Structure 1
């Protein structure tokens, strides 16, 4: 599993579909929003949590179609499917790789982009915590969607349509954590729900992803 993880990390970085693309999109979004609505702290501050979470969501979405597509193109996916490592383990490694190259870098850079959107300083720590807990769910859900659409023509469009509705609960609770943190309100309830979604995805989706891969590789 370690060898597969290191291999996928190298491929993600070399192929340019990893953190570079996601970070660039995240930065562009955080820069364009103030230009579009005006650089007014009273206007941007209240909507900053939603904008930052939406940017993280869309940035994660950009590289989902490459999770299995590169392996399918060069025949590696067939070899991986017949390897001793169960497909559930392969699905977990793929999702972890996506999070390490997309979700984790977005979490690290988010506080700096929060300054561009006049995010209250009291909400910065909650932003990092919410992204750190919530972004793994985006990667695991995205890996499941990528397995469903692997090998399909125009699969990236279908993938977006499948995954975006599944992202909504994570987006809602993640933004709510940051909003409550900015206003000094209790964050335990949305944070617990966000963590529950992530734990559920990590526990259940590798089996669903493996089942989808088996169907598509027949």
Structure 2
């Protein structure tokens, strides 16, 4: 599994620019907000956590369609589906999701404090938003694995993956933004929405790879 993880890291960094493409898109989304909303720094600081979460969510969708594409093109996907038991295929999908998150989504988390400064966010808000992105973005990768598995055999499946993943990822974004706002609003507790966000990630870490493995087996039949 470690060898598979390292291989997927190399593939993710080579395919389409990987982390750099996502970070540049993330920067573009965040940098256009001050131009759209005007020079009101208080407004930018107030909506900053939501802007960072929306930008990270949209940037996370960019490379999901390539999650199984390279394996399908070189034929290794068929070998992965035919070899081993169903739970082994789900474990393989989990490792691929973790590698994809490390290569393409973790840089978004690292870049979020810098982009928070552009939005005039408070240090507490920047820290809380970064923490929620660190915990919540793996859930997007697990959801995206299912969408990528459903669309792996379809032409121009990238748009379909985004259409499938975006509605399912909205609850993750809601609890991530709620926890970020709770950290800067004194009466609101930070821990409940943050724990729900963590629970969603753990739940999807089990359900997502299993559903993706089932979709991959169905697509190979």
Aligned to 2:64, what secondary structure does the other structure show? coil
Q: Match for residue 193 of structure 2?
A: 190
Q: 1:148 aligns with which of 147, 150, 155?
A: 150
Alignment length (residue pairs): 218
Q: Distance in 2 between matches of 1:191 and 1:39?
A: 31
Q: Match for residue 14 of structure 1?
A: 14
Q: 1:176 aligns with which of 178, 183, 190?
A: 178
Q: Distance in 1 between matches of 2:178 and 2:44?
A: 16
Aligned to 2:39, what secondary structure does the other structure show? coil
Q: Match for residue 37 of structure 2?
A: 37
Q: Is the 8 A contact 1:18 1:98 kept in 2?
A: no
Q: How far does residue 84 in structure 1 lie from its aligned partner after superposition? A: 4.3
Query: Structure 1-normalised TM-score?
Result: 0.95
Q: Match for residue 210 of structure 2?
A: 207
Deviation sequence 1:155-197 (CA, Å, 0-9, x none): 1111111111100100111011111112233211110110111
- Could you list the structure 1 runs, at least 4 aligned residues long, displaced by more than 4 angstroms after superposition: none
Q: Distance in 1 between matches of 2:98 and 2:218?
A: 22
Q: Match for residue 217 of structure 1?
A: 220
Q: Match for residue 136 of structure 1?
A: 138
Query: Structure 2-normalised TM-score?
Result: 0.94
Q: How far does residue 17 in structure 1 lie from its aligned partner after superposition? A: 4.5
Q: Match for residue 58 of structure 1?
A: 58
RMSD (Å) for aligned C-alpha atoms:
1.4
Q: How far does residue 216 in structure 1 lie from its aligned partner after superposition? A: 0.4
Q: Distance in 2 between matches of 1:187 and 1:181?
A: 5
Aligned to 1:65, what secondary structure does the other structure show? helix
Q: Match for residue 166 of structure 2?
A: 164
Q: Is the 8 A contact 1:121 1:182 kept in 2?
A: no
Q: Is the 8 A contact 1:41 1:118 kept in 2?
A: yes
Q: Distance in 2 between matches of 1:116 and 1:145?
A: 33
* Change over 3 Å in CA distance of 1:77–1:5 after alignment to 2: same
Unaligned runs of 5+ in 1: none
Q: Distance in 2 between matches of 1:39 and 1:216?
A: 50
